[in-house]
Structure 1
Amino acid sequence: MALSPQQPDRRAELADFLRTRRARLAPRDVGLPEGSRRRLAGLRREEVALLAGVGITWYTWLEQGRDVQASSETLENLAHALRLDGKEREYLFLLADRPLPDKRPSHGKVNSELQRMVEHLEPNPAYILGPRWDILAWNRAASLVFTDFGQLPEERRNLLWWYFTDPVARQRFSVWENYARCWLGQFRISWGRYAGEPDFVELVEDLKHHSSEFRSWWPMHEIYGRYQGRKEIEHPLVGRLVLENAMFRVEETPGVSLALYVPLPEEETAAKLQRLLESA
């Protein structure tokens, strides 16, 4: 929903509000490296765009007061990226002419419609991630290809925790370190949105304690784009699987995303997935 042409004052106020909130933050406040010498105080526009998961051009237009659309999820991500408190967040939604949603999505549940959708994506592996990368839902294909997520303790049913601490993950992914650093760099953006929240802090501290790689790489502040593309998996029953991974945001639930893996025309991956499902 765009602000109407009859609301230029509201758009100008929103633009000015975003600029002032950006100017008061330093990179260290949001878990980003300081980088090169800065002429002006505050975050750069591209840093806010990165933390909020939006395009730099779109965010620039928003700060320029142009008549652009901003969904509730995007506003929620901007609120987290700019470290807005409760009243500032409410004001942001008011200026954008959007109803104020609940402050945070549930970390532990998805609705029945999402669960059914994931199940019907078979034979393609798929799962739903929460804001902290907790695995909220998955289909049978995902359990057969990766691991039986249902057998993991609920408090440890988290993609990063599984990938960095479970030996099965190291066995499944042929280039474990490459994927680990990529996923960690993407999680860093989620951390930037929610840094300081107790459940995020607890996860990071636990991973530092249990994974030497995580402990070594976390202070580097590496940032990556969305973790999608080609994935090669060594499966103990059917051999090598070559899949393409893509991530999709769940629009009505801020911070929640769908991960989908589809077979590439190599290594007879599609036929192998079908055999796995039929033999389970």
Structure 2
Amino acid sequence: MRTSPQVLRAVARALRLDEAETAHVLSFTAEDGPPADPPTFVSRNLLTLVQSMAPHPAVVLDPHWDLLAWNTSYAALLTDPARLHPKERNLLWLVFCWPPARTLLADWPREARALLGQFRSRAARRPDDPRFTELLGRLLTDPDAARWYADRETTAFQPSVRRFHHPAAGELRLRYVKLAAVDEPGHHLLTYLPDDPASHDALRHLEKTAPTP
């Protein structure tokens, strides 16, 4: 028997759950059934959009945060996903298992913990998804990820400004923007936009050092 969303919302209010925790509870009884599998490819239109956004870093992610497409600016800001093993082309893997991330992200603990909370919310909707299981097994080998995951926190995506200590471009303040691809359900476009003139100039400098595709 499925509990109605109205009942769950009333329970959430009684327990004083926040927006992210309420969304997490409601995700178990979505009226339109379990989420459909996303396409395993990126359309030509979306790929062209990602590439045209340079010098602004941009990437397309699937529901597991696997990196499906990226531009040269994204490769220059972080690392070129093409040089990684396919199983490592994942935003969670980069944040927790790619060592430079901890110095590249100026506020790594807060950023990493928030991303892990989003991962928990997403994975809860697909308890039998082998990719989520695979990722979780890898992430929990990291002591920080294991400790935070045990806290059972869930978070929702929030637009924010991320600060980077980049070895080539110096200090950057970039606004993190996430957009759903309506014509490709399950895919999201993430892009980093400069938050100040210095970061704008730094991104243009960084683009000149981007790896050749």
TM-score band by shorter chain is 0.7 to 0.9
The residue correspondences of 1:147-186 to structure 2 (distance < 5 A) are 147-186=79-118
Look up the match of 1:60: none
Of residues 137, 145, 149, the one that matches 1:218 is 149
* Matches of 2:113 and 2:21, distance apart in 1: 22
Q: Over residues 59-114 of structure 1, what are the superposed CA-to-partner deviations in whole Å (9 max), with x where a residue is unaligned?
A: xxxxxxxxxxxxxxxxxxx8x63278xxx84xx9xxxxxxxxx94113x4211211
Q: Do the aligned residues in 2 keep the contact of 1:249 with 1:257 (CA within 8 Å)?
A: yes
1:272 to 189, 202, 209: 202
Unaligned segments of structure 2, at least 5 residues: none
Aligned pairs (5 A) from 1:120-131: 120-131=52-63
Q: 1:47 to 1:22 in 2, by over 3 A?
A: farther
Query: Over aligned residue pairs, what C-alpha RMSD do you find?
Result: 2.9
| Residue 3 (structure 2) aligns with | 22
Between 1 and 2, higher relative CO (CA 8 Å, sep ≥ 6) is seen in 2
Equivalence map 1:45-84=2 (5 Å)? 50-51=23-24, 81-82=28-29
Given that 1:189 and 1:223 are in contact with CA atoms closer than 8 Å, whether structure 2 keeps it comes out as yes
User: 1:186, 1:227 within 8 Å by CA — same for their partners in 2?
Assistant: no
State the match for 2:120 in structure 1: 188
Structure 1 segments (4+ residues) deviating >3 Å: 34-38, 46-49
> How many pairs does the alignment contain?
204
Structure showing greater radius of gyration is 1
Residue 105 of structure 1 is matched in structure 2 by 38
TM-score, normalised on structure 2? 0.84
Instruction: Provide the rounded CA distance (Å) in 2 between the counterparts of 1:153 and 1:246.
Output: 26
CA distance in 1 between counterparts of 2:159 and 2:14 reads 32
